[in-house]
Amino acid sequence: MNNLIKGIFIWLAIFGFLVIVFSFAEKPIQRELQTGVETPFSTFVELVKEGKIKEVTIKGDELIAVTKDGQIVKTVAPKGYNEIYDELLQKDVKVRVEPQSDNMWLRTLLGWLPILLFIGLWFLMLRGLGTGGGGASRAFSFGKSRAKIYINEKPQVTFKDVAGIDEVKEEVKEIIDFLKNPEKYKKLGGRPPKGILLYGEPGVGKTLLAKAIAGEANVPFISVSGSDFVEMFVGVGAARVRDLFETAKKHAPCIIFIDELDALGRARGAGIPGGGNEEREQTLNQLLVEMDGFDSSSGIVVIGATNRPDILDKALLRPGRFDRQIFVPKPDIKGRYEILKVHAKNKKLAPDVDLWVVAKATPGFTGADLENLLNEAALLAARKNKDAITMEEIEEAIDRVMIGLERKGIVITEKEKKKIALHELGHAMMTLMSENAEPLHKVTIIPRGMALGVTQQLPISDKHLYDRKELLDRILVMLGGRAAEEVFYGKDGITTGAENDLQRATDLAYRMVSLWGMSEKIGPVSVGRISNPFLGGGVEKIEISPELAREIDNEVQKILTELYEKAKRILEENKEAVLKVAEKLVEKETLTCKEVVQILESYGVEIKNRCREEDELKKEIEEKEKRQREEEKREETPKDGEEENSVNKLLSKLKIRGNRGEN
């Protein structure tokens, strides 16, 4: 677009230059006469009668005269007064008639201006479309596919670069085997899936996995985005789909990877009575036809990736098109540990860095998040001029990614600091006094992002199911901050800082009652469903009676009120100890779990949920890695029989070469 604007200005400048040149391209006499003295017409008539005029140039109504003494005078003759011309002829004045001063070239250029501008703009628009392969203009090649084809430069990514999704890798290994050895499947009459749909949350590694499949199979990789098919002109998208599959047939066996498939494969006519976008639907129809038409035995495998499988057209997901749909989940704690090891290969880590602790401290992180985390830590270490990344930079990077940047410029009074400290210690106390809560990691009152303080918990392992006790303890921890404000400052001293805590606690309580059937009074009734636009989603309430809605509200209010009162009782019983921890927190700004527990235990507080540093799961992973290394070692070492066969084969080859006279 910038080049287009630049080109327009260049053309306008050229046109303006031509106008200026032609406007001054007049005869020298004309430019010279422009300097004459304006004279009244009556004075000019007297000069003519007295015989003082030598010559006159007539340009329309304008008279430019040269007197006998060399002066130049100008005047304008009144319309219809022709006697002056007879008078000039009678006095033997030399009369010359010239066209008016407007330039013929200028008039011609101005007349052609609209046509020239139109031609120039059209030419620049064609150039703005860029050039295709071999320098050919793409102005008339809208129907060509915009796919990137990697033939000689195949993806260098392999399964060694993909971690945390072992089950998914096992699922796609047969695709790689087929691309390497298709005859093996043809003998048995089997065919591989025509299409594989990878779906999962953003950042879990769908694109990376597709590249790894191509890298392992060592076949051409044709990559295209679903939005590349969407065009303003009807029929262009369908033409691009045809061209894509024609290109794939020329390079078979190969992999076609369509990223963001939902941009192309959204359900036809969804939510629009009478139909939807004609161009997009034509493009989708063409994709369906092409996937039905090509023979999978030719070695073409289509891989699609999306975050929104719920909105895809059902025709795309039937057998014969995207036969296999594979969910790529977020990595669990073991997966995060493996991913961190992959991304740490090219990072210089200090001896104090424990990737297991990092994996444990990053629940819910995807592979992309973990890669970004280590990169942030590397940038922080470089900023501090360190030779290696230490655990300090990694913990700071975790805080930056999860909470936000540290707000060093904000000014907080000592009174506000103590209030923030007590609020955060309210959360920390509920964590330490609840058996089913996730263990406490640290408490800080350093402002980050939108938070003025943070109480960080460190889960032992990823959880996939929560029972009622665990959910109630989670709500208790959320309400601990507001409860601490009321216990230490009274009802008039509560602040706005608990807004997010109350929102999350209320939402969780509503889910327990209306979605998961965890209310004794209402029973096992679910009156909502989880919407899943990006595999996260919220709760969509369905139509229910006003009476049931009122009962749900009352039950939610009861849960929140009871837990809030419980939090206040715990804080009242340990008021002196909490105040002592608050003083230490205001002084140091950050306290670890051990430091908090040490002060509380000195006041005789009985801790129910102690700090956790190590757990059995880490040992299991270490043992699993050890077994894998041993298995790899055994596979590399040939057995006795195999070793003997390999020696015999080598001797046979040497014998044959010797008979042929080869060295």
Q: Is residue 108 part of a domain?
A: no
**Interacting residues of 220 by C-beta distance below 8 A, sequence separation 6+:** 149, 150, 151, 154, 214, 251, 254, 255
Do 470 and 550 lie in a common domain? yes
Q: Are 471 and 591 within one domain? A: yes
Nearest-angstrom CA–CA distance, 273 and 447: 50
Residues of the chain with confidence (pLDDT) below 50: 1, 26-33, 129-140, 142, 273-276, 642-644, 646-647, 649-663
What lies within 8 Å, CB to CB, of 137 at 6+ separation is 126, 129, 131
The verdict on 627 and 591 lying in the same domain is no
Are 391 and 316 members of one domain? no
Residues 163 and 302 reside in one and the same domain: yes
Closest to 52 measured CA to CA, from 62, 39, 61? 39
Q: How far apart are CA 422 and CA 445, in angstroms?
A: 10
CA atoms of 104 and 26, how far apart (whole Å): 10
Angle, helix 499-514 to helix 468-489, in steps of 10 degrees: 150
Q: Collapsing DSSP states into helix, strand and coil, what is residue 223?
A: strand
Q: How far apart are CA 72 and CA 235, in angstroms?
A: 72
Strand order in the sheet with 53-59: 37-38, 72-76, 62-67, 53-59, 94-97
- The predicted pLDDT at position 633 comes to 63
Q: What is the pLDDT of residue 424?
A: 93
Domain count, the chain: 5
- Is residue 153 in some structural domain? yes
Q: Are 183 and 117 in contact (CB under 8 A)?
A: no
397 lies in a domain? yes
SS3 305: strand
Q: 567 with 621, same domain?
A: no
3-state secondary structure (DSSP) of residue 455:
strand
How far is it, in rounded angstroms, from Cα 51 to Cα 94? Answer: 12
Domain range spanning residue 77?
26-102
Q: Which of 603, 537, 547, 536 is nearest to 575 (CA)?
A: 603
What CATH number is attached to the domain comprising 67?
3.30.720.210
Contact of 288 with 243, CB cutoff 8 Å = no
CB 511 within 8 A of CB 539: yes
Predicted pLDDT of residue 127? 58
User: Are β-strands 37-38 and 221-225 bridged in parallel, bridged antiparallel, or unpaired?
Assistant: unpaired
Domain boundary among 357, 372, 402: 402
* Distance of alpha carbon 203 from alpha carbon 366, whole angstroms: 6
Characterize 313-347 residue by residue with b for buried, 16 or more Cβ atoms within 10 angstroms of its Cβ, and e for exposed: bebbbeeebbbbebebebbbbbbbbbbbebbbeee
C-alpha triplet 450, 454, 460: angle, nearest 5°: 130
Angle at the Cα of 384 from the Cα atoms of 381 and 389, rounded to 5 degrees: 20
**Gyration radius of the chain's alpha carbons:** 42
Nearest to 38 by CA among 76, 84, 75: 75
Contacts of 40 (CB under 8 A, 6+ apart): 75
Task: List beta partners, residue 57.
Answer: 64, 96
> Which positions ≥6 away from 401 have C-beta within 8 Å?
369, 372, 373, 376
Q: What are phi and psi of 295, to 5 degrees?
A: -90, 125
Active site residue 424: yes
Q: Tell whether 595 and 463 lie within a shared domain.
A: yes
Judged on CB neighbours under 10 Å (0-12, 13-18, 19+), 499 is exposed
pLDDT of residue 139: 45
Say yes or no: 509 and 459 in one domain: yes
Question: Before 253, cis peptide (omega within 30)?
Answer: yes
| CATH code, domain with 365 | 1.10.8.60
Q: Which helix (H) or strand (E) holds 287?
A: helix 278-293
Asked whether the beta carbons of 8 and 119 are under 8 A apart, the reply is no
Q: How far apart, in whole angstroms, are the C-alpha atoms of residue 456 and residue 220?
A: 47
Q: Which of 291, 308, 327 corresponds to the end of one domain?
A: 327
DSSP SS3 for 397: helix
Q: What are phi and psi of 274, to 5 degrees?
A: 90, 0
Taking a C-beta distance cutoff of 8 angstroms, is the pair 202, 164 a contact?
no
Amino acid of residue 265? G
Is 1 inside any structural domain?
Answer: no
Identify the CATH number of the domain in which residue 252 sits.
3.40.50.300
Q: pTM of the full predicted structure?
A: 0.64
The residue from 371, 376, 424, 486 that is catalytic is 424
Residue 211 lies in a domain: yes
User: Is the domain of 444 the same as that of 424?
Assistant: yes
Residue for token digits 């059209």? 122
Nearest residue to 425 via CA among 499, 477, 481: 481
Place of tokens 């150039």: 127
In a domain, 214, yes or no: yes
125 belongs to a structural domain: no
Q: How many CB atoms lie within 10 A of CB 466?
A: 16
Specify the pLDDT at position 464: 73
Look up residue 105 and give its two tokens: 């070239």
Q: Are residues 365 and 300 in the same domain?
A: no
Residues 92 and 229 grouped into a single domain: no
| Integer Cα distance of 586 and 584 in angstroms | 6
Question: Two tokens at 242?
Answer: 């045809």
Identify the CATH number of the domain in which residue 469 sits: 1.20.58.760
Q: Do 152 and 210 have their domain in common?
A: yes
**Distance separating alpha carbons of residues 539 and 515, to the nearest angstrom:** 8
User: What is the distance, to the nearest Å, from the Cα of residue 396 to the centroid of all Cα atoms in its chain?
Assistant: 24
Of the candidates 552, 579, 602, which is a domain's last residue? 602
Q: How close are the terminal C-alpha atoms of the chain, in Å?
A: 66
94-97 and 195-199: which strand pairing? unpaired
Token pair for residue 191?
A: 């065919």
The continuous run of DSSP H or E covering 506 comes out as: helix 499-514
> Is 16 among the domain residues?
no
